[in-house]
Amino acid sequence: GNSVTQMEGPVTLSEEAFLTINCTYTATGYPSLFWYVQYPGEGLQLLLKATKADDKGSNKGFEATYRKETTSFHLEKGSVQVSDSAVYFCALSTLGWGAQKLVFGQGTRLTINP
């Protein structure tokens, strides 16, 4: 079956540090890949997405590249801010009939200290 594996947290960084959160996946077919962010007390917000191999998703300084050869979709940001503190989820969805379903990784809690 389809699955997503994220690096375990929590991750604690200082402001302006470089961020990488690893994500690898297993899927049949050609999945779309996503990063979602969850701030305390809120639901999930889509951060970025990529729908085919070699696509790069980007938003708010975050980037992730869909690497089919390594089945990975690592999240990166060059300089994190305190406001980036949240839980980050990597997810996939396989295209096709009736495929309105997301499979999530376990989530990585990120804390940025000033």
The full 3-state SS of 60-110, as one line of letters, equals CCEEEECECCCCECCEEECCCCHHHCEEEEEEEEECCCCCCCCEECCCEEE
Q: How many Å is the Cα radius of gyration of the chain?
A: 14
Q: Which of 20, 26, 106, 113 binds another protein (CB under 8 A)?
A: 106
Per the structure block, which two tokens stand in for 1? Answer: 């079956």
Q: Pick from 89, 90, 64: which is nearest to 75 by CA?
A: 64
Subset of 47-66 contacting another protein (CB under 8 A): 49, 51
Can residue 95 be called a binding residue for another protein (CB under 8 A)? yes
Owner of token pair 């007390």: 41
# residues near another protein by CB under 8 A: 26
Can residue 104 be called a binding residue for another protein (CB under 8 A)? yes
Distance in Å, CB of 14 to another protein, minimum: 27
Can residue 102 be called a binding residue for another protein (CB under 8 A)? yes
Subset of 3-32 contacting another protein (CB under 8 A): 32
* Contact set with another protein (CB under 8 A): 32, 36, 41-46, 49, 51, 89, 91, 93, 95-107
